[in-house]
Amino acid sequence: MAPTPSRLAWLDALRGPAALAVALHHSGWTFVPDVWAEVDRRIDVGTWGVFVFFLVSGYIIPASLERRGDLRAFWIGRVFRLLPLLLAAIGLALLLAYAGAYALHPGLSTRPLPLVVLGNVTMLQELLGVPAVIDVMWTLSYEMAFYLLAVGLFATGRAHRSAATAIVLALSAVLLGLLLTKPVIGGRADLVAVLLGVAVVAVVVVSAWAGGRSRTAAAVAGGLLGLTLVILGSRIGAWQGLIILAVMFAGTAVYRAEQGTIRWRTAVATVLTVLACGALAKDDPGWAPAILLAAGFFAAGFALRRRSFPRWLAHLGVISFSLYLLHPLLLRISPNLPMFFLALVPLCYLTHRLIEAPAQRLGRRLAASPASPASPASSVGESAPHGH
């Protein structure tokens, strides 16, 4: 098998198996629940997959932001990377629901339509107390919160403090997790949720298109909003929510150590602290093994990063966002487990080719246009298409 030439093929080699693991987790519970119950009580394979994604995001997103050195280019890249496929998937879910082939969350019909649309389109629904149109979208809310925090740190020249940020988040997760076991934002506080969602959109727009102090202030406000939403709005609780952010910043600490910004012993201590604080975040026997093995899988990929990877494995990583987002829809109309996977991969190659790739090309053209004020100076990092 021919190897891929990309220096960052190891990230795609992690993304593909992670996406398939989440699909396997959901298909296992659908088609072979008795067998999968035995697997799940030993290791939550779905949790393993999403934590691999979180570590990959933590490693590559700040690198991408700093390589561009431009908040406008960063946000345009994120929008055109995620929204086109997300909107297509939501539209397909609604069509399948209308045809009786897909069951939407019952809470969607009881909440105001503007709030449902705002929450799902901004990908913040998990933190605003709004049901997701597609269940797996919950992880995107934490991705968005991480983007907001990363942008805030970058705009204030504190992006290099990734290790300290990860440790503070991990320790705070334990303390706040014991105090805040249920989300404060959500329930029937629809107006509060709408205002928070609109505020996030506003700070993103201002941080992308304004200049000078306005841009910095908006970026800082966005970071504070993202952190507040995770602490007060996380459906899975403040402990798990903050641990997810800490895991992503632990991934960033690995990138910093690789670049020589921090010492390797600092990065290793950061990862171990985050794992120690996160292992008890959920009362589930499959949780701790999942996040520990996710860290081990990421470490193995990093150790092999200079090796060549099979082209097919890297290609699975390229289509991993399609694999992740579309598999719950296909799952509802597949007759059995083999047919599900036989159809899933070709479908995702098609959606990547027809939706994701053209949208990314358009995003790169728009991001390259000289329409933004100068952004803060940054260090040079490497970037690759973000899979989730």
Residue 224, CB-side half-sphere exposure with 13 Å CA sphere: 9
Map residue 313 onto helix, strand or coil.
helix
For 367-381, the pLDDT digits (tens) are 988 754 444 433 333
Using the 8-state DSSP alphabet, how is residue 109 labeled?
A: G
Residues 31, 341 contacting (CB under 8 angstroms) = no
Q: What percent of the chain has pLDDT over 70?
A: 93
Q: Please, which pLDDT band fits residue 186 given cuts at 50, 70 and 90?
A: low
Residue length of the chain:
388
Q: Is the pLDDT of residue 385 over 70?
A: no
Please report the pLDDT score of residue 371 as a whole number.
55
Ordered by start, the domain boundaries in the chain are 9-368
Whole-angstrom distance, CA of residue 195 vs CA of residue 207: 18
Whole-angstrom distance, CA of residue 164 vs CA of residue 228: 18
Whole-angstrom distance, CA of residue 374 vs CA of residue 388: 28
Residues 15, 388 contacting (CB under 8 angstroms) = yes
Whole-angstrom distance, CA of residue 58 vs CA of residue 75: 16
Whole-angstrom distance, CA of residue 103 vs CA of residue 333: 11
Please report the pLDDT score of residue 69 as a whole number.
87
Mean pLDDT on 86-112: 94
Residue type for position 311? R
Q: Please, which pLDDT band fits residue 187 given cuts at 50, 70 and 90?
A: low
Please report the pLDDT score of residue 118 as a whole number.
96
For 275-317, the pLDDT digits (tens) are 999 999 999 999 999 999 999 999 999 999 999 999 999 999 9
Whole-angstrom distance, CA of residue 34 vs CA of residue 24: 14
Please report the pLDDT score of residue 236 as a whole number.
93
Residues 208, 139 contacting (CB under 8 angstroms) = no
Mean pLDDT on 264-283: 96
Structure tokens at 208: 């992308």
Rg from Cα positions in the chain: 20
Whole-angstrom distance, CA of residue 298 vs CA of residue 291: 11
Residues 127, 233 contacting (CB under 8 angstroms) = yes
Structure tokens at 87: 């909107």
Map residue 363 onto helix, strand or coil.
helix
Please report the pLDDT score of residue 6 as a whole number.
61
Residues 355, 88 contacting (CB under 8 angstroms) = yes
Core vs surface per residue 228-245: b (16+ CB within 10 A) or e: ebbbbbbbebbbbbbbbb
Whole-angstrom distance, CA of residue 23 vs CA of residue 180: 31
For 208-260, the pLDDT digits (tens) are 999 889 999 999 999 999 999 999 999 999 999 999 999 999 999 999 999 99
Q: Please, which pLDDT band fits residue 2 given cuts at 50, 70 and 90?
A: very low
Which residue bears the tokens 């990063």? 305
Residues 63, 382 contacting (CB under 8 angstroms) = yes
Residues 281, 240 contacting (CB under 8 angstroms) = yes
Mean pLDDT of the chain: 91
The greatest distance separating any two alpha carbons of the chain, rounded to the nearest whole angstrom, comes to 58
Residues 278, 246 contacting (CB under 8 angstroms) = yes
Q: Please, which pLDDT band fits residue 7 given cuts at 50, 70 and 90?
A: low
Whole-angstrom distance, CA of residue 99 vs CA of residue 298: 41
Which residue bears the tokens 């909440």? 111
Which residue bears the tokens 């690198």? 63
The residues with which 3 forms a beta bridge, in sequence order, are 310
From 134, 136, 141, 114, select the one nearest 198 (Cα to Cα): 114
Give the rounded distance of the alpha carbon of 39 from its chain centre: 25
Please report the pLDDT score of residue 188 as a whole number.
61
Whole-angstrom distance, CA of residue 174 vs CA of residue 3: 43
